[in-house]
Amino acid sequence: ISCLLRYPDEALMGQLGLLEEAIGCLPDRARKPLGRLAGHLAATPLIELQADYVKTFDLRHRNCLYLTYHHDGDTRLRGRALWRFADVYRRHGYTISDGELPDFLPAVLELASQAAPDDTEPLDLLVECRPGIALLSHSLAEDGSPYVDAIRALELALPQPNPAVLEATRRLRSEERRVGKECRSRW
């Protein structure tokens, strides 16, 4: 999932065969959506993939791949949350490179994939951000984006949401709709 959510470049295109082989080993519920996305990536010219990626993730705030953004926006609260993510990386012996923020979903997924089976801390970061992940899934589905398949596979891999997570997701969607209406009315 991490690889499929990264900016498409020559390196990703060169790894697609290996990714498709790995996807083929997954259970149906993950294999089917990830296979669709990998197939889309393989069948689409790189320049189109890159333009679509930027349009999907960089130009639409609600499709943001930065996990703390959905909950904290660009506030001081987000700074504290980012520090916490960075601290988890540091304690696991990793640093974020290329100027990326530590809450970048593909990076958090990489960290979780490297954690020992009894180390739940990276997974806990994802679970805590579950409402934002659900909002991202909903938004990508509304946009008809093929990337929704990766987020839906991630949701299937995470523990089932509890009532508090479902309520937080509902509140985020409600707030997103309210802010969206306010922005449209200004224009």
Q: What is the pLDDT of residues 29-46, one digit of tens each?
A: 999 999 999 999 999 999
Render pLDDT for 126-155 as a digit per residue (tens, 0 to 9): 998 898 899 999 999 999 999 999 999 999
Q: What is the model's pTM?
A: 0.84
Is residue 66 pLDDT above 50, yes or no? yes
Structure confidence at residue 100 as a pLDDT band (50, 70, 90): confident
**What pLDDT does 166 receive?**
59
Question: Cα separations (Å) of 70 from 42, 47, 77, 131, 170?
Answer: 30, 28, 12, 8, 13
* Residue 120 CB neighbour total at 10 angstroms: 12
Structure confidence at residue 186 as a pLDDT band (50, 70, 90): very low
Could you tell me if 155 and 53 are in contact, meaning their C-beta atoms sit under 8 angstroms apart?
no
Distance of CA 87 to the CA centre of its chain: 20
Residue 73 Ramachandran class (φ > 0 left, ψ -120 to 50 alpha, else beta) = left
